[in-house]
Structure 1
Amino acid sequence: MTIRLRDLAACFEGVIPSIIATAAPDGMPNISYLSHVVLVDDERVALSNQFFSKTATNVRANPAAAVLLVDPRDGGQYRLDVIFEQTLDSGGLFEEMAIQLRATSTQVGIGEVMRLRGVDIYRVRGVQAVPSPTPRQEVSSREAGLQLMAAAAVARRVSEASDVGTIVDAVLDGLREAFSFKHAMLLLKESAGERLVTVGSRGYERSGIGSEVLVGEGIIGTAASERRPVRVSDMSRIRRFSSAVHASSDEENRTRTIALPGMPDAMSQVALPMIAHGVLRGVLFLESSQRLAFTREDEAALAVVALQAAAALALAEAEILEGPSSVPVVADQSVLTGRGFRVVHYAYDDSIFIDNEYLIKGVPGRLLMYLLRIHQREGRTEFTNREIRLSEDLRLPDIKDNLETRLLLLRRRLEEKAAPVQLLRTSRGRIRLEVAGRAVLEEATS
């Protein structure tokens, strides 16, 4: 039976390194391991060219070579008889391979060392299965079309959500229920900066709400900076980046940094950019302890989910701008009674500590102090997004800044910390402050 290149899709996932064999003009053989082998079409493959000066010298003198591929699912081996055609140092294929290499290598601090020099294109003249002394195991695969059905199911859930919080939950819950992907997080981009902030997660011991990733950092940051999906099928070949280590409350108090959630035994990861109206809104990230957990078909379906989520979030934020501008003043007698608690605000980074426990910093921290001050002064508990946005005291970066996302971050961090002050969304563009006792507000200078 003829073996087609498309039948060897799992061999191109990079789980088990491939090997290329070349020969010098005098017949001296040379064997090198390959970082990446990519399927170009039914007749060609692309090989990453990073360090292999001897290989490059050989194929330019003798273009015939052999490539050994290994199927990571059953150990099957395949020999490709190839002939060198050309080297690319630009273009779509080169950029795709460079992004993949950069995303994984920057996680371990060797981005420049592993920089892609070129992509060598080889025409495949024949494919042969290498005989094995032991029988191969049957490999199960997902039924075709299941990913499309799962994406449609998540899209329906997202279409029924009406605000940032419910959209985030619809995406993450949908991934778990429709795709059976248990570990995922959704990060949104700060419109005034180069950071992505976690606004929701599933499957982790710690939610990581409020944790940050720099655009361009690791797999998540690279998906954001390059605005393309990034998928890794075997994380054992690289080390996870240090910011993904779980942190304790004491570490949060000391560093004022919330740790990104992560799986210590993750083997597969995929990051999908969320883009709407040409603007990067965030990144959808999934991981698994299984190798080859995310196929190319999964990646395509998840990309659709990410784009649908981005569009829904953009629409929800636009509708908030049209919300009510005022609410009745409601007195809350708890401002004078109940157990007291201490809220300390550090103005230089707007970080907030409640009873010596770190909560959050930046705009969400500034928002909490604004709400608490009005609550103490007027006894008010009801607020609107519009009045918050128009407040001169808050010094919000821009009217287009993602206020709804900031409020969501604040609300979920307060919930996670079981703080004596909580923030509830009562209706579109309206929030309520619930305070269990008297807040003692302090301003700190250092």
Structure 2
Amino acid sequence: MSTAVRDALEASLARIDDPSSDGRVTFTKVYAERARAEADAADARAKAGVKLSPLDGWVISIKDLFDVAGEVTTAGSVILKSQPPAAADAPTVARLRQAGVVIVGKTNMSEFAFSGIGINPHFGTPGNAADKSRVPGGSSSGAGVSAAEGTVRMGLGSDTGGSIRIPAALNGCVGFKPTYGRIPLEGAFPLSYALDTIGPLAKTVADCAATDAVLAGEQPWTPTPAPLAGLRLAIPRGRLFGQIEPEVEQAFEAAASRLGKAGARITDISIEDLLQELADAMARAPFVAMEAAAIHAEWMEERARDFDPRVLARIRIGAKASAPDYIRLVNKRAELVARMRDRLADIDALILPTTPIRAPKISDLIASDDQFWTANGLMLRNTTVGNIFTFTGISIPCPKVKGLPVGFMMTALAGQDRRLLRMAAAVEQAFTA
């Protein structure tokens, strides 16, 4: 009998246990024995000609905020260690199991998913897949590293302000954020009730699309690349291109030029007025901080010493906002979303760098609050727009980049997930040609 899945799993386990791979920091929990049983079952199915789904036999990881029956979900924090174990798998985890995947372990993350950097003072910080001295991006840090390094075929992550797309960009893999509400959020520890989404990080657009279909409970499909000729892509120049590293700018412009030569219609578009109104509306506190303050109210003060101080600082900003502040922001957001839909009615997708900077050094950001906050703001700036405006989005590695990876982000209106994945498949094809 073929042992292809078991062999892939053993290679994954060996990599996790290799001291040079940083695997025991990338993973917070490893399910070696259960994963071996799952792998053997997948090999047996393959011998019998049975395939549960296109994901059958994939070795995958799941972020440490997803419930697994019988164990405590820590969400990157020591505060939750005393909570009761989960009664059932999160629906997303259950759907993946039903699809025949082999879950090798849970991956590290920013505490409570509240950072775009990926540093965790409790469980350590996974080194970037391209350079272990650099940050992995957050909050799905271990998911990005495990997928980019090939330890797993897919890492399950969550994205509230960019937490799938940022680690995908920094580590050099593909990360897909679905439209809010397509994937069930139950059993995933929340950061923001209104902004959280769940999605995959993988090496290819096709693997992200296959995973997304399982997570959404939809029929399997393989995205046929949309024709690039005539595709309407718009670049939102302005503040989203401020403070950009020259290497990022060069990689993005070269990638956009490649698409233009392939027939895509690339234009500039201004959304500066909408972004300014959003900034004004969130001057009191960011949307995510307000909701996080409600989620963490029970232990925000009594367990203050057990928090990552930088995470607690952001939550406390949200706690200073009042109920009228929150209600006004909810209403303003709805108005801005409607106006953005009108603004983007004649384009297929926005394109821009996923992050304006590449991965900084871990040691620099641990040592300096100023450097940390600057980097965190820049990491989250471009991606957060997609969450606030309910876009679906994807980050693909820019082609032919020397040194640290650079992410190319495509984002489209809510509900256009499969259309975006077809466009992304075409872009990926153009980038690798």
Which protein shows a greater Rg?
1
Higher-strand-fraction structure: 1
TM-score of the superposed pair, with normalisation by structure 2: 0.24
Higher-helix-fraction structure: 2
